[in-house]
Structure 1
Amino acid sequence: MKTLNFRAIAILFFLFTIQHTAVSQTQANLEKNIVTGKVVEKSSSEPVAYASLTLIEVATAESVSGAVADFNGEFVFSAVKEGKYFIQISFMGFRDFISDEFEINESQPSMQFDAIYLEPEDLALEEVTVMGQRDLIEEKVDRTIYNAENDNTIVGGDASDVMRRVPMLSVDMDGNVSMRGSTNILVLIDGKQSAIVASNISDALKQIPAEEIKAIEVITSPSAKYDAEGTGGVINIVTKKNNIQGASLNINTTVGWRASNLGLNASLKKGKMGFTLGGFGRAGYNILGSFDNQQLVTNMDGSTLNILQSADTRTNQMFGRYNFGWDYEINDFNFMTAGVSFGLRNRNTYQDGLLTETFMGELLQSAVLRDVETSNLSNNIDINYNYTKTYEKKGKELSISSLYSLNNLTNDFINNVYTGTFEDIASRVKNNNLGKNEEFTIQLDYVTPIGSGEGTLLEYGAKNIMRKAESDFAYLTAQGADGEFEQVDDITLSNEFSYDQNVTAGYFTFMRNFLKDYTFKGGLRYEYTNIQADFRNAELDTDIPSYGLFVPSMNLSRKLENGNMIKAAYNRRVQRPFLNFLNPNINAANPQQISQGNPLLDPELTDNYEMSYSTYIGNSSINFTSYLRNTTGSIQPVRTVLDDDIIFTTFENIGRERAYGLSIFSNINLSNRFNLSGSIDGYFAQLDNGLEDPLFAASNSGFVLSGRARASYLLGNDWQLEAFGFARGRQVQLQGSAGGLAIYNLNLNKQFAEKRGSIGFGIENFLMREFTMRNELVTPTIVQQSTVGIQNMSFKINFNYRIGRLSTDSKKKTRGVTNDDIKDSGADNSMN
């Protein structure tokens, strides 16, 4: 207890010292080159606390600093350089104020404003200001941006809920993300990727609250600056930045029938130093469903068995993400940031009464009853440090970024097998699978304009990723309900596996505007990968050769009249196998369908060709994009029949994939009150595993369609009604298909307290009690049809409130680590 108290006192002393230093530096700057004043309400002369102020330079019309009025309405701009300026003030419920021009020079080193009076908005002005809506979708030269901060339907959700609204993306009911039908994508968070994202994208997305997301950037043709991973492209989740002045505490919570969450986020910015502290937790419960499976298996002797399975399912889950951030502006050209974040993801899934019946013809051969419990648990910690140096020359920048990430995983299951009378437990089977993903990354980026004019940019850099994955797995058996577990003495079932990967890369990109309306961006990246794999308890073949790859990229765009744009792009992408594909642990939670990874997999290569056209009609935007994706060495599952009629799945580099696609999306402003947006995505897929043996050869083709629509209507008095729907049809796979799905919701939101708070009511999937997905597998020896049902009808109440107000400060753009790699199988329970 004494040690704990001493540590607490030491921490408090350290924080006090930092705060005191920051305050002392701020006060030193107030001696000269300052602008001060007070903001008050015109009708009552009462101070307007937390009003946002922006200092704008007259010559460039650009913001050079931001401030926020304190509780007494007083504000200070410090360290103002000599020049001519004016101040812009804004606060909800008041008209914007723009001051007269003033000058800071040697003879007038400071400026003191008398009371600045803000006038309340009248009704006419309020209607114009409140009813106007910014576009949800923006089309940039190299990416499509979905402005999530303008979408109130996502309140109470997570990042996977936001991605369901983004054009070109599809998200299934488990949160697995695909871009134009490909799940081989890179997901970044503020330009960075941590070990938890590399381990399992779908679970990582559940840790990010929707309210913290500013935008989703979809980059279908990444430049050489990005790692070569991700054949489908890059998704960057941009969170709400904390480059602000002042103090703020934001509280958001949701209470629902199947899930609830609570989030707290605090920010403090004084002068050159800033701190952020935040946390978000989400609990899921009452997630009920069903499982049905039928598989016809042909044995080597030609006999056919019909296996039927059914069970009731339930899921409980807990997700959380907590972070502490620090930033410091050393001077006008040097900026540092550092942060540490901790996340957890606990998910327990139960199959109650899993009944397996085996028939030969109409004759029942056997019937086995099981209860299955699967535990998928993980926690992760990320520590990052970034340093950015800018120069007087606009656009020139040097950055050094580093990231250490550690993810601990537990992926276990227990099968309780009942006696023939289905009354008592006869035996139990347990699989312990403890894993660890660890990585350290450092990278250097340099950007410089070429020549004196704008429009020509050269960027180059280097990067090294050291990644280590470990899996300690074992099978244990026990007799009866109370018998002790004993480990199975079989190196294929109980072993330790390590996988070390080192990727060293260098790149350069060149961008130039030419012929007035054209922009070219091209680049080349080289990556060298070294891999070492080892089984500790066996001399198995794990010799994996090193390899080097050149990855080119080219992007060309032309601006047309009225803001229209046409783009063409080509790039080559590389997809290293995700750990789910590599882990040799045998997953037999369902003993009729077992799977095992292959640590000898090679990367797959994809050539992407794309052309798009964007146009505007009035206040509405429309985008058409066509593409071709050709993949060689594709990682595909290989399924065979083992003894006892078990379907065994592993993975090989035997596939060829080709997809021809077209996507159309639009954002339509029908009026100041009514906004409608939607998209349709479709592609024709061709898959072939390249084998000639008729027992294993497989090919498939077909169309895959998906679409989404969103409508928003402002009712007045700060009430808003919003609806959203998403549907995806049957998805073509090499040996069958995955079922379609549909998700929809309706939300009503009310803002109050000058829009510092909001309360909302939402209902999801209210037209059906249970939604089902039907999957199909067809091979020369296997015909399987499975149905997964989930009761996802839900009602929720959202509450959000902000204490304090922050204003944006014009900080330097910081770069971060972007580990753009590894193919994700989308499996929820096959990680280390």
Structure 2
Amino acid sequence: MRSVLSTLLAMFVCSLLGFSSLAQSPARGKITGTVVDSVDNKVRDYITVNLLNEQKVTVKVDFTKTDGSFMLDRLKPGNYMLVAVGVGYKPKMIPVNLSDTARLTVNLGTIDIAPTVIGLQEVKVTAIKPIVKQEVDRITYDMQADPENKVFNALEMMRKVPLLSVDADNNVYLKGNADFRILINGRPSSMMERNYRDVLRSMPASSIERIEVITTPPAKYDAEGLAGIINIITRKTVDNGYNGTINLSERFPVGGPGVGGTVSAKFGKLGMTLMTGGNQYRTPSISTFSERDTRNLNPSLLFQNGTTRSNNYSGYLGYEISYEIDTLNLVSAQFNINGSRGRGFVFQNSLLNANAEPIEQYELANTSRDQGRGMDAAFNYQRSAKVDKNRLLTISYRYFGYTNNQKANVDITERINFDLPDYRQFNDQQFSEQTVQVDYVYPVKKLNVEAGLKAIMRDNRSDFLFESFDQEANTFDPDPARSNRFTNTQNVLVAYNTYQYTFKKWGLKAGARIEQTMVKVDFISTDSKVDQNYFNVIPSIAINRKLKKNAGFNLGYTQRIQRPGIYQLNPFVDRSNPNFERSGNPTLRPAFVNDFQLGFNTSKKGSVNVGAGYTNFRDMIMPVAVFNPETNITRATFGNTGRARLFMLMLNINYPINKYWNFSLNSRVAHGRVSGVVDGQVVSNQGIMYQANVSTGYKLPKGWRVNGNLTMVGPNINIQGTTNAMVSSSFSASKDMFKDKLALSAAFNNPFTRFRDARRETFGPNFNQLDIRRDYFRSFNLSLNYKFGKLKEAIKKNKRGIRNDDVQTGN
């Protein structure tokens, strides 16, 4: 361990020393010229002049002055491509040869650029935009190329993204696994770490540029998230002006009104992005049913039925800003806040039989309230080397925190042999995290080297209280045996090194990440402690081979880690249902996964992506249910249950049948097997899991478009049970108006089925259980989407060498 860490630290320090010295190394080459309009032969100011090296990487950027002139100096000998671009002009490309050391100054003279249009005529782009793109370590879904981005929210659109699926409870799965990380513009955000479903329901898909599914995350990314990373890109490229989208929506009978949007702006050296949204999500009264059959010396049969309803409000706001101090220094910052508030009501009738005779019966009314809020703020400083703008040193700091407060009042009536008094539960959870990170990027010809150091300090806290009703005193009194204060601190020290190499048709990205984790758990009320320390080496490798006719192969391997979060660790016992209790497990260990992926992609008129994978899990964290015959209570918690393995096949097709009609298929099938020890006995489960989304759309005259979707989600397998399959459908229509700036959309979801029974079967060594929830399935969506923006060509810009999108987005 010490030798590995010392080696990485030495490499990192040497890189920093090399950065300092190389930043001062002289480069004598210089390119000058003057840009003019090819029509009126007048000089043009504020035209962007990019200089690309042989690897097509930008090494210098300048802007023409008021006399149309520009100068790019301090250049290494070599061959370059100069590209001049400006608003309203076609790009101009000129090869420049600086390989002769005797002639390192080149004057290109007058460079004429041609306008794309004369006057203010409208320009229409008719080329078909590819929706799915395969890269060396990820698959990208272009949300703006999908016309249904104006109809649905981000959560609903994820059904169409390769390797993603959404179940009936709006849980997202990546390769069939619910443990993954969601990033916004390459960075963690409190919006996604507290309750991603609320935010994704509030986020209109039209505000998203693309979604990246990072199947083999490079070593620079945190190793957490067993299945990988979902990176949502909302930032839009803007030059001299602003643009944005606003979306208004209504969903009923389940759902509610929502609003969301983004605005991006760039003025000189200052760039910023704002995204915000909020919605109401209401669930009318639905019916529930549970049946538990126990097998022991005194077998029993429990029946429960009732109704439940809920109403939730949520909102978020995110802001990013960047400022270029000069051509070498860039600072950026981000700030995100989010919050939610909800109320719920459950009515339940419970009957426990033994030998066909009732032995216990009651009616229960549970009124619950919960609210939460989160925020994060980050600051980043980036320094570029003079000799090569792609040599970057970045120093970052981030604070992230959130709170969740829960309260439940349980009233019990119609009692028969049931003496548990009425009670109240309170659970206040707090989480905070501070991160300090240093990253260094050093490109050497076709090799790109990255290294970094990182420290994460996490603090989890929970204060939970149980109060029983005293009928004689007519008060609620605290129960010390069922109350506690809990703290969990987790410190992680990280070093990583990544290498990316490109050679002809081959691409290679490989690296390793070492992490030392120190965990301390303290039960303050009971004065007991738990300490854990573990060291991990996390490797990753991704290989890409380009073939002829826009085809290629991808091969990837990575190891991932799942550290338990506050929800899984918190020992708070939720007793909302007296016969079924839920709690966390503060002694959980981290889980590990080894993941292998193989993919083939081709893109001609349409695109096809085929993939296969094998995933092996160790110490997997999964829900575990144990029945106690003495209390007739089933306790559900989390445990490191054992091992699991998963074989997977994936197929994604996007095909434009003609310029009006398109077709897409996103599908995955897998066989999973999981085994472990539950209540002292070996338990195993296995089965086929699948998901498929078929979508087709047709473009009609005068801006109309109609779409149809069919989604099939197979049963989900866990160590002690399964959930049932789901088939859903939707039909939508949209109308574009005012030069495609305004869109009106409507969708009819599951028109043939009003309700759906969500079934969950659970088994243990001494019990079987069936839970059924009847959900509203048929629903209607209405939305209005407006795009706005304005380019300001007259705004002056100073000479600069890096762009706002050069900020390193991975922590």
In the superposition, the TM-score normalised over structure 2's length comes to 0.84
1:41-52 equivalence runs, <5 A: none
Aligned counterpart, 2:425? 431
1:577 Cα offset (Å) = 1.3
Q: 1:151 aligns with which of 121, 146, 155?
A: 146
1:731 Cα offset (Å) = 1.4
Encode CA deviations 1:236-290: one digit per residue, 9 max, x unaligned: 1111336542245643211232321123544443211234444211112354422
Greater CA deviation, 257-266 or 728-737? 257-266
Q: Is residue 635 from structure 1 mapped to residue 621 from structure 2 by the alignment?
A: yes
5+ residue gaps, structure 2, are 1-32, 41-45, 73-81, 97-105, 794-801
Aligned counterpart, 1:533? 521
1:650-689 equivalence runs, <5 A: 650-689=637-676
**Equivalents in 1 of 2:83, 2:298: separation in Å?**
87
**Equivalents in 1 of 2:198, 2:173: separation in Å?**
14
1:627 Cα offset (Å) = 1.2
Q: 2:501 aligns with which of 505, 512, 520?
A: 512
Q: For residues 216 and 807 of structure 1, do their structure 2 counterparts lie closer, same or farther at Cα, with a shift above 3 Å needed?
A: farther
Q: Is residue 322 from structure 1 mapped to residue 317 from structure 2 by the alignment?
A: yes
Aligned counterpart, 1:708? 693
User: Secondary structure of 1:768's match?
Assistant: coil
User: Secondary structure of 2:587's match?
Assistant: coil
1:28-427 equivalence runs, <5 A: 55=48, 81-82=70-71, 89=87, 117-118=118-119, 120=121, 129-130=125-126, 132-155=127-150, 157-195=152-190, 197-241=192-236, 243-248=238-243, 250-257=245-252, 258-263=255-260, 265-299=262-296, 302-351=297-346, 353-391=347-385, 392-393=387-388, 395-420=390-415
1:393-792 equivalence runs, <5 A: 393=388, 395-420=390-415, 428-450=422-444, 453-454=445-446, 456-478=447-469, 483-490=474-481, 493-514=482-503, 516-540=504-528, 542-616=529-603, 618-642=604-628, 643-690=630-677, 696-792=681-777
Given that 2:372 and 2:404 are in contact with CA atoms closer than 8 Å, whether structure 1 keeps it comes out as yes
Greater CA deviation, 303-312 or 283-292? 283-292
**Equivalents in 1 of 2:593, 2:453: separation in Å?**
23
Greater CA deviation, 531-540 or 110-119? 110-119
Greater CA deviation, 159-168 or 389-398? 389-398
**Equivalents in 1 of 2:607, 2:282: separation in Å?**
40
**Equivalents in 2 of 1:338, 1:321: separation in Å?**
17
Encode CA deviations 1:481-523: one digit per residue, 9 max, x unaligned: 9944322232xx2111111111110010112234x32222221
Q: For residues 627 and 77 of structure 1, do their structure 2 counterparts lie closer, same or farther at Cα, with a shift above 3 Å needed?
A: farther
The one-letter amino acid of 2:459's match is K
**Equivalents in 1 of 2:613, 2:91: separation in Å?**
48
**Equivalents in 1 of 2:264, 2:66: separation in Å?**
19
Q: For residues 377 and 158 of structure 1, do their structure 2 counterparts lie closer, same or farther at Cα, with a shift above 3 Å needed?
A: farther
Aligned-CA RMSD value: 3.7
Given that 1:428 and 1:480 are in contact with CA atoms closer than 8 Å, whether structure 2 keeps it comes out as no
In the superposition, the TM-score normalised over structure 1's length comes to 0.82
**Equivalents in 1 of 2:435, 2:208: separation in Å?**
25
1:145 Cα offset (Å) = 0.6
Encode CA deviations 1:601-629: one digit per residue, 9 max, x unaligned: 1111211122212223x312222211111
Q: For residues 372 and 214 of structure 1, do their structure 2 counterparts lie closer, same or farther at Cα, with a shift above 3 Å needed?
A: same
The one-letter amino acid of 2:632's match is D
Given that 1:384 and 1:404 are in contact with CA atoms closer than 8 Å, whether structure 2 keeps it comes out as yes
Greater CA deviation, 356-365 or 204-213? 204-213
1:802 Cα offset (Å) = 3.3
Q: For residues 752 and 636 of structure 1, do their structure 2 counterparts lie closer, same or farther at Cα, with a shift above 3 Å needed?
A: closer
Given that 1:401 and 1:815 are in contact with CA atoms closer than 8 Å, whether structure 2 keeps it comes out as no
1:175 Cα offset (Å) = 2.7
**Equivalents in 2 of 1:345, 1:716: separation in Å?**
42
Aligned counterpart, 1:825? none
The one-letter amino acid of 2:609's match is N
**Equivalents in 2 of 1:113, 1:250: separation in Å?**
31
**Equivalents in 2 of 1:54, 1:749: separation in Å?**
38
**Equivalents in 2 of 1:406, 1:360: separation in Å?**
49
Aligned counterpart, 1:815? 808
**Equivalents in 2 of 1:227, 1:298: separation in Å?**
45
Given that 1:296 and 1:305 are in contact with CA atoms closer than 8 Å, whether structure 2 keeps it comes out as yes
Q: For residues 178 and 112 of structure 1, do their structure 2 counterparts lie closer, same or farther at Cα, with a shift above 3 Å needed?
A: closer
Encode CA deviations 1:690-710: one digit per residue, 9 max, x unaligned: 57x8x6320111111111112
1:207 Cα offset (Å) = 4.8
**Equivalents in 2 of 1:78, 1:182: separation in Å?**
59
Given that 1:207 and 1:343 are in contact with CA atoms closer than 8 Å, whether structure 2 keeps it comes out as no
User: Secondary structure of 1:354's match?
Assistant: strand
Q: 2:787 aligns with which of 797, 802, 819?
A: 802
1:147 Cα offset (Å) = 0.9
**Equivalents in 2 of 1:195, 1:483: separation in Å?**
42
5+ residue gaps, structure 1, are 1-32, 41-52, 68-74, 91-95, 819-832
Q: For residues 806 and 289 of structure 1, do their structure 2 counterparts lie closer, same or farther at Cα, with a shift above 3 Å needed?
A: farther
Given that 2:236 and 2:264 are in contact with CA atoms closer than 8 Å, whether structure 1 keeps it comes out as no
**Equivalents in 2 of 1:673, 1:482: separation in Å?**
74
Encode CA deviations 1:48-70: one digit per residue, 9 max, x unaligned: xxxxx974659889999899xxx
**Equivalents in 2 of 1:483, 1:607: separation in Å?**
57
**Equivalents in 2 of 1:66, 1:261: separation in Å?**
43
**Equivalents in 1 of 2:406, 2:457: separation in Å?**
24
Given that 1:442 and 1:463 are in contact with CA atoms closer than 8 Å, whether structure 2 keeps it comes out as yes
1:774 Cα offset (Å) = 0.8
Encode CA deviations 1:319-351: one digit per residue, 9 max, x unaligned: 111133322111223222112221112233322
Given that 1:249 and 1:802 are in contact with CA atoms closer than 8 Å, whether structure 2 keeps it comes out as yes
Q: For residues 54 and 719 of structure 1, do their structure 2 counterparts lie closer, same or farther at Cα, with a shift above 3 Å needed?
A: farther
The one-letter amino acid of 2:577's match is N
Q: For residues 78 and 185 of structure 1, do their structure 2 counterparts lie closer, same or farther at Cα, with a shift above 3 Å needed?
A: farther
Q: For residues 754 and 592 of structure 1, do their structure 2 counterparts lie closer, same or farther at Cα, with a shift above 3 Å needed?
A: same
User: Secondary structure of 1:342's match?
Assistant: strand
Encode CA deviations 1:161-201: one digit per residue, 9 max, x unaligned: 23222111122233322222222212222122234534444
Greater CA deviation, 263-272 or 365-374? 263-272
1:295 Cα offset (Å) = 0.8
Q: For residues 34 and 316 of structure 1, do their structure 2 counterparts lie closer, same or farther at Cα, with a shift above 3 Å needed?
A: farther
Aligned counterpart, 1:71? none
Q: For residues 547 and 307 of structure 1, do their structure 2 counterparts lie closer, same or farther at Cα, with a shift above 3 Å needed?
A: same
